[in-house]
Amino acid sequence: MTDTAARLANCYSGAVYDTLRARGIDNTVLPRDIRPLDDTKVLAGPVFTVRGSPKTGISAHDTLLAWTGFLSRAPAGHVVVCQGQDDTRALMGELSAETLQSRGVLGYISDGGCRDSAFIRSIGFPVFSRFYSPRDVVGAWTPDAFDEPISIGGVEIRKGDHVIADIDGAVVIPGAVVDQVAAEVEAVMQAENKVRDAIRSGVDPQQAYLDHGKF
């Protein structure tokens, strides 16, 4: 995990969103129905993008060759973000999650589904997806492109970008500003701690906001 990813992993999505908004960077939040398999997990790191689509008439063998080829390409220290373009199939399962985890991949985010969910949760591999389904990709879906720009819910995601995902949702951070944003988020969290301490000590909330410029 890079230093930036480690710093972001100690943050939370709301503070990252606030920081990006203050910079005038909008349209960074992935659709609200992309939810964590384990809502105690915080997933943060540079993205490795995958784009795939349903296929008609593809064999089970060719599907699994393409899928395992993707697993072989996913780089350690990255978060896989998959634009699946499929609302019926699980695009992550037990063996795939264990493979990615063993290869040092930080986690997986997709606009598709997930299966073998109890097992994946038990091994602690962070997965964010839209739904659960036992239906898998065999004979039906393959990846088409890697490390190319993708779009999920109108949010553009490119190589070099980072993502942070937690119980509240997933936020994409443009790669060009990720180091500055990480530092600014840390400052935001420090300011919030001061506001929190002030409120707990009995300071009026409006006064706490005026004193610290944060609420």
> pLDDT tens for residues 85-111?
999 999 999 999 999 999 999 999 999
Question: Looking at the predicted structure, is the pLDDT value of residue 119 above 80?
Answer: yes
**pLDDT cut 70: percent of the chain above it:** 100
- For the segment 136-145, the average pLDDT, to the nearest whole number, is 98
Better-scored residue on pLDDT, 168 or 190: 168
Q: How sure is the predictor about 42, in pLDDT bands with cuts at 50, 70 and 90?
A: very high
The pairing of strands 141-146 and 162-166 is unpaired
Better-scored residue on pLDDT, 208 or 57: 57
Every domain of the chain and the residues it spans: 3-174, 182-212
Question: Looking at the predicted structure, is the pLDDT value of residue 118 above 90?
Answer: yes
Which residues does 190 contact at the CB level (< 8 Å), separation at least 6? none
pLDDT of residue 192: 83
Tell me what the pLDDT averaged over the chain comes to: 95
pLDDT of residue 14: 95
HSE-up of residue 186 (Cα within 13 Å, Cβ side): 12
Q: How sure is the predictor about 158, in pLDDT bands with cuts at 50, 70 and 90?
A: very high
Of 72-76, 124-128, 175-179, 201-205, the least confident: 201-205
Question: Looking at the predicted structure, is the pLDDT value of residue 139 above 90?
Answer: yes
Question: Looking at the predicted structure, is the pLDDT value of residue 17 above 80?
Answer: yes
pLDDT of residue 83: 98
pLDDT of residue 209: 87
CA pair distance 108, 91, nearest whole angstrom: 10
- For the segment 37-54, the average pLDDT, to the nearest whole number, is 97
Of 13-17, 26-30, 55-59, 189-193, the least confident: 189-193
Alpha helices in the chain (DSSP H): 3-9, 13-22, 60-73, 94-102, 117-123, 178-200, 205-212
Which superfamily is assigned to 3-174 in CATH? Ribonuclease E inhibitor RraA/RraA-like (3.50.30.40)
Query: Which residue do the tokens 């840390």 mark?
Result: 186
pLDDT of residue 138: 97
Sign for the pseudo-dihedral over CA of 23, 34, 74, 42: positive
